[in-house]
Amino acid sequence: MALTVDVVLAGIKEIVVEVAGIDAGIIAMDKKFTDDLDVDSLSMVEVVVAAEEKFGVKIPDEEVTKMATVGDAVNFIVANGK
Amino acid sequence: MSLKFTPQTQNARILSVGAYRPPRVVPNSEIVGRIDSTDEWIQQRTGIVSRHFASADESLIDMAEKSAHIAIARAGLTAEDIDAVIFATISYPYQAPSAATELLVRLGNTKAAAFDISAACAGFCYGVALANDLVRNKTAKNVLVMGAEKLSDFTDPDDRATAFIFADGAGSVVIGPSDEIGIGPTVWGASAETREAIVLEPSYLEYKNNPGKLDLGWPNINQQGQTVFRWAVYEIAPIALRALEAAGLTPETLDVFIPHQANDRIIESLVKSMKLPESVVVAHDIRTSGNTSSASIPLAMDALLAEKPELHGKSALLIGFGAGLVYAGQVVELPNKPKTK
């Protein structure tokens, strides 16, 4: 399955719901992990590792620090995925 | 030329554990003012509610001495019976001579073999590995393995990444001869390509080469939290399982899990990744002790045995991991109930 924005966003939603225990409905491209979704820096590591497994993509630590919004993460995975 | 060496071997075990925590308890409320944080935030991020800080006139060796006296007495031994001291620390403020030899002087036994090791939060498990081999090969009879830190001397109280994590304390064990195998094989190694993730800097030479340069500051621990968290959770779990397997145990047959007390979130994630069943007792000493680096595992061991005396003699998986990045893990049989108090 091609890694389109829609596909990756749906996957990230599943992961964030699992890690942060929040409602999928409030997760959108413009939401900030820390401020809007209660994903702190350590939970962010869990999200990133789960995303790496799910999409078969490597997300270096220096990229993680740049990912403020859900859209940042989705776009990185789409651009760098197979 | 042929050298004379007669191979000898015997079994080894942890005979006793001793712990010393400085009396001053520091709650999060004392830390938060300088880092614009809250008690709730620190607890949520690390599980830490309070920690112990040594007073200004209480040295690393003061703490180590108190811990050592307890461990040696509980083994039913005296200081003269100790013939080697392995001291794991990153907070002894001298390059030479070693912390281990200062401890010998305090113990009134100045003749034993003594040296320090620098393996940070893995230092205690590195020490257990070395002591086990020394006793098994009869190079030494009774080895004191000390993990002691005064990290409050090397932590920036204004650093939002570390000020609430690191703390002070001293924990030690005596490892000596045993009828049965009391220490399993050690699984150890490094991820040295990530050695910049936790550093204590600047170096001495930077002060020498930049005289009067005030903004160098005092050498403090700097830590890249996310990098360390990722490594600790996702790389260490399989290593801990290898140590368990090497000792012939499974998660179902293990009694106790005592990981380095780095962060309660790391401990919870390790338990989850390793699929440890609820029957395994897990150490969470970090909640009231903070991260005491090399001291954290023996401190946690002592606390568990005090709280649950029925755990004496049970199997425990130890895993240390930290600056280097380095790691070491092994299964041990916890000490039996002390012969003396």
Using an 8 Å Cβ cutoff, are B256 and B315 in contact?
yes
Q: Is the ipTM of this complex over 0.90?
A: no
Is the pTM of the predicted complex or chain greater than 0.95? Answer: no
Mean pLDDT of chain B: 95
The model's confidence at residue B339, banded by pLDDT at 50, 70 and 90, is low
pLDDT of residue A65: 85
How large is the average pLDDT for residues B244-273? Answer: 96
- B45:A49 CB<8 A: no
Q: What is the pLDDT of residues B260-292, one digit of tens each?
A: 999 999 999 999 999 999 999 999 999 999 999
**Per-residue model confidence as pLDDT tens digits over B173-184:** 999 999 999 999
User: B233–A45: do the CB atoms touch at under 8 Å?
Assistant: yes
Residues 17-46 of A with CB under 8 A from B: 40-42, 44-46
Asked if A48 lies within 8 A of B230 by C-beta distance, the reply is yes
**Pick from B45, B263, B269: which is nearest to A40 by CB?**
B45
Q: Is the pLDDT of residue B336 over 90?
A: yes
Instruction: Kindly tell me if the per-residue pLDDT of B81 is higher than 90.
Output: yes
Cβ distance B265 to A42 less than 8 Å, yes or no, reads yes
Q: What percent of chain B has pLDDT over 70?
A: 99
- With cut-offs at 50, 70 and 90, classify the pLDDT of residue B340: low
CA–CA gap between residue B338 and residue B326 (Å, rounded): 32
Closest CA to B13 of B150, B176, B236, B199: B176
- Size of chain A, expressed as the number of residues it contains: 82
- Identify all chain B residues contacting A49, using CB atoms and an 8 Å cutoff: 230, 233-234
Q: Which chain B residues are within 8 Å of A35, Cβ to Cβ?
A: none
- Check if B43 contacts A (Cβ < 8 Å): no
> Average pLDDT for residues B229-244, to the nearest whole number?
94
* Confidence band, pLDDT 50/70/90 cuts, at residue B123: very high
Smallest CA–CA distance from B224 into chain A, residue:
A61
B64 pLDDT above the threshold of 70? yes
pLDDT at A11 over 90: yes
**What value does the mean pLDDT of chain A take?**
90
> Is 60 exceeded by the pLDDT of residue B205?
yes
Closest residue by Cα to residue B241 from B231, B252, B230? B252
Query: Which class for B248: exposed (0-12), middle (13-18), buried (19 or more C-beta within 10 A)?
Result: exposed
